[in-house]
Amino acid sequence: MDHSEIRDEVKKLCARFPGEYWRKLDAVRGYPTEFVTALTEAGYLGALIPEEFGGAGLPLSAAAAILETVHSSGCNGAACHAQMYIMGTILRHGSAAQKQLYLPRIASGAARLQAFGVTEPTSGTDTTSLRTTARREGDHYVVNGQKIWTSRAEHSDLMLLLARTTPRDQVARKTEGLSTFIVDMNAVLGNGLTIRPIRTMMNHNSCEVFFDNMKVPAENLVGAEGRGFRYILDGMNAERLLIAAESIGDAKWFTTRSTAYANERRVFNRPIGQNQGVQFPIARAYAQMRAAELMVREGLRKFDAGEACGEEANMAKMLAAEASWAAAEACVQTHGGFGFAEEYDVERKFREARLYQVAPISTNLVLSYIAEHVLGLPRSY
Ligand SMILES: Cc1cc2nc3c(=O)[nH]c(=O)nc-3n(C[C@H](O)[C@H](O)[C@H](O)COP(=O)(O)OP(=O)(O)OC[C@H]3O[C@@H](n4cnc5c(N)ncnc54)[C@H](O)[C@@H]3O)c2cc1C
């Protein structure tokens, strides 16, 4: 479960990508191609792909150890983490031919599967109200609509796309009639697919994507038509646990920085860390992180044992995102004015850490999951 060897190796790799590397990219909103290539070549991004398809065939806890270490080292897994969990949809629900075609290329880095097209501007969190349609015409589907916040779309070869194949008023349940497709983005870019980057608070390479009569071969449908929402849901526990692991890594990075600075910075002839007003927020955030870490580990244990882990995955994601934010806040405060100076990396990590209370699922939706699905309270939506 601890995967200490993997953690040591990832730490060494990350040491080649110090704060200066990320700062430069942040200034120009660049993509960390060298970092992603290094992770791919070392086999980390194919960690969850079975060995028969060229991956390492490791459990989710190993992938979590990789991403946590990326973040505790001051790097950012957001540039490439999606690949780890998106490919699970192909692995679990794809045909033998799709697995053979895509998984080895994803594992080797020949093709990047980094784009996940689910969120739309009008429907937001209410995924089943999405408006993008895919209409079958002979041996292909014709896709029309729009996605928003499709991260890494400009740096991905493949996109996993969720679109409606049967109108909502023709299905018994709103979760039916949605289908999942593998889109070969290079084949349709400029020919049905348009990508527009969105400038955000942090360097996340997120985009709007537009589909205008975009053709997708029928063989790129994953699993059965109309079952796509279920397939996407199947991957969400893995996604939440991996993002939670990243937040734990962020919290550790902030706390390491906070304690180092609080020990070293002298004001009024003593280290600022001697003041309990400085110590306590750091200590409190550390306690929050340790508690969240236990929940992440419990979720991973259950996931790897094949047990239901929706409750733990959701709680782990929420608690870890809140712990990393508490640690981020304490870190800025401990650094005083220097918390705002780019060269300390604190303000960059502070901006990056904030996302995880909103995406990939916002805290309110986690709370409503716990209230309704775990505690049996009435449905609110
Ligand atoms: C940087 C970034 C990267 C992203 N990457 C991707 C990606 O790669 N692929 C992808 O598909 N999506 C991506 N997303 C989208 C992300 O998953 C959504 O932003 C998130 O799910 C929230 O949806 P929304 O922005 O439409 O907010 P809305 O659904 O409009 O919600 C706004 C606020 O209202 C609250 N709210 C809404 N309904 C309820 C309710 N019933 N009860 C209580 N509160 C409610 C929400 O919690 C939220 O705080 C990304 C987002 C960001 C910002």
pLDDT at 84 over 80: yes
Which residue puts its alpha carbon closest to atom 24 of ligand 1?
124
pTM (2 decimals)?
Answer: 0.98
pLDDT tens for residues 21-80?
Answer: 999 999 999 999 999 999 999 999 999 999 999 999 999 999 999 999 999 999 999 999
DSSP lists the bridge partners of residue 222 as: 180
With a CB cutoff of 8 Å and minimum separation 6, the contacts of 321 are 243, 244, 247, 356, 357, 363
* Across 11-24, average pLDDT: 98
How confident is residue 99, by pLDDT bands cut at 50, 70 and 90? very high
For residue 115, give the ligand 1 atom closest to its CA. 8
* Domain-wise residue ranges, the chain: 4-111, 114-226, 230-374
pLDDT at 1 over 90: no
User: What pLDDT shows up at residue 333?
Assistant: 98
* Across 203-217, average pLDDT: 97
Give 239 Cα–ligand 1 centroid separation in angstroms.
15
User: What pLDDT shows up at residue 174?
Assistant: 95
Which residue puts its alpha carbon closest to atom 35 of ligand 1?
364
User: What pLDDT shows up at residue 162?
Assistant: 98
User: What pLDDT shows up at residue 71?
Assistant: 98
What percentage of the chain has pLDDT greater than the value 90? 98
Give 361 Cα–ligand 1 centroid separation in angstroms.
6
* Across 198-221, average pLDDT: 97
CATH superfamily of 4-111: Acyl-CoA dehydrogenase/oxidase, N-terminal domain (1.10.540.10)
How confident is residue 183, by pLDDT bands cut at 50, 70 and 90? very high
How confident is residue 223, by pLDDT bands cut at 50, 70 and 90? very high
User: What pLDDT shows up at residue 209?
Assistant: 98
Residues lining ligand 1, CB < 6 A?
A: 116-119, 124-125, 149-151, 200, 204, 206, 355, 358-362, 364-365, 368, 380-381
User: What pLDDT shows up at residue 301?
Assistant: 98
Name the CATH code of domain 114-226 (choices 3.40.1410.10, 3.30.300.30, 2.40.50.140, 2.40.110.10).
2.40.110.10
Tokens 């955030």 belong to residue: 285
Give 335 Cα–ligand 1 centroid separation in angstroms.
31
pLDDT tens for residues 106-135?
Answer: 999 999 999 999 999 999 999 999 999 999
Q: Residues with catalytic annotation?
A: 239
Give 352 Cα–ligand 1 centroid separation in angstroms.
16
Determine the topology of domain 230-374 in CATH: Butyryl-CoA Dehydrogenase, subunit A; domain 3 (1.20.140)
pLDDT tens for residues 158-180?
Answer: 999 999 999 999 999 999 999 99
How confident is residue 252, by pLDDT bands cut at 50, 70 and 90? very high
User: What pLDDT shows up at residue 291?
Assistant: 98
User: What pLDDT shows up at residue 93?
Assistant: 97
Mean per-residue pLDDT of the chain: 97
